[in-house]
Structure 1
């Protein structure tokens, strides 16, 4: 599993780099042909990771409930985003991936409620969720990369 945590750290590093690269106006700009913006994709990846790993293992999530409601599946980039939100997201992207690794190896996430993703992939274990999360975050990193070419 160590490789999966290393990959997550790399993905998160890229998200953080994009969040540092643009001002708030660019982070929240939705180009024609897109439904969301850079900030939303980064926040959505974070919230989804918390839902798939902590919520489905009956553990307290490390993000506020408000963030879950704002950035879960089915939401769009139409929320008001502040500079404080950007700072909070950067911190959470960095700390939650470290905490996930720690909690996994401490076996704090041993219970897991099976879940079928909208991709049709069945998550039966926390390991499945961690692996799928990297796929999901990579997908949204791809969107961030595409968005970044359209916001300059």
Structure 2
């Protein structure tokens, strides 16, 4: 699992680098043809990891729970995302992975509820390791979307 965590961190650092010089307005801009923005992309990665790992294992979230509905699967930005919230979700992008790795070592995910994800039709997560492996693909998918979005902001 060490290599998987390495890949997740590398991908998330690349995303942070991609947006590091953007203004709050640029992070909030929804380009034509898209239903969300760069700030939402980052928040969505954080929230998806929390839901797929912590919620499905009956553990408490390690992020502000008010972010869950704002960035969950199927959501879209409903209002301007403040610079403070953007800074917080950027910080969560890496800190939640550090916490996940620690919690995995402490075996906090033994009570995992299997879940069929919507991203890849019929793909089922049976245990925490499946969820962590899925995060690699999911993060890559949203990094690609973010690369495209940045061209239009």
**18-27 or 114-123: which moved more?**
18-27
Number of residue equivalences = 151
1:139 maps to 141
Unaligned runs of 5+ in 1: none
Q: Deviations over 1:92-128 (max 9, x none)?
A: 1121111111111121112200000002210001000
TM-score computed with the length of structure 1 as normaliser: 0.95
The answer to whether structure 1 residue 55 and structure 2 residue 55 are counterparts is yes
Distance (Å, rounded) in 2 between the aligned partners of 1:15 and 1:67: 19
User: Deviations 1:55-92 (Å, cap 9, x if unpaired)?
Assistant: 10111111222100111011112332101001111211
Structure 2 counterpart SS, 1:21 = coil
Does the CA contact (< 8 Å) of 2:45 and 2:93 recur in 1?
Answer: no
Q: Unpaired segments of 5 or more residues in structure 2?
A: none
RMSD: 1.1
Displacement of 1:18 in angstroms is: 2.9
Between 1:69-78 and 1:12-21, the stretch displaced more is 12-21
d(CA) in 2 for partners of 1:87 and 1:136? 22
In 2, Cα distance between equivalents of 1:89 and 1:19: 12
